[in-house]
Amino acid sequence: KTIQRVEDTELKIYLPKIVDHAVFIQLHQVQVDLYNKFSELVAKNSTNTNKRGFLSDFSIFQYICTHPHLLAVMENLRNKKIRERDLITDEQEDNPMCNIEGWWKAVVPEDAAEKIEYGHKLMVVKSIIEECEEIGDKVLVFSQSLGELNLIEHFLEKEGTSNCHSWKKKIDYCRMDGTVPPALRSTICDLFNDKDNKTLRLLLMSTKVGGLGLNLTAANRVIIMTVNWNPSYDIQSVFRVYRFG
> 17-68: per-residue pLDDT in tens?
889 999 999 999 999 999 999 999 888 877 664 555 778 888 899 999 999 9
**Same domain (yes/no): 140, 226:** yes
**Same domain (yes/no): 142, 226:** yes
Domain that holds residue 123: 114-238
214 and 182 Cβ atoms separated by less than 8 Å: no
**Same domain (yes/no): 76, 186:** no
Mean pLDDT confidence for 178-200: 92
pLDDT of res. 172: 96
**Same domain (yes/no): 166, 136:** yes
Q: How far apart are CA 85 and CA 179, in angstroms?
A: 9
Read off the pLDDT of residues 121-144 as tens digits, 9 standing for 90 and up: 999 999 999 999 999 999 999 999
Number of domain units in the chain: 2
Neighbours of 95 (CB within 10 A): 13
In a domain, 188, yes or no: yes
Q: Which of 48, 83, 104 is the last residue of a domain?
A: 104
pLDDT of res. 9: 76
109 and 30 Cβ atoms separated by less than 8 Å: yes
Q: How far apart are CA 53 and CA 64, in angstroms?
A: 17
202 and 191 Cβ atoms separated by less than 8 Å: no
Q: Is 206 left (phi over 0), alpha (psi -120 to 50) or beta?
A: beta
**Same domain (yes/no): 229, 151:** yes
Which pTM was predicted? 0.85
**Same domain (yes/no): 65, 151:** no
Q: Which of 104, 134, 166 is the last residue of a domain?
A: 104
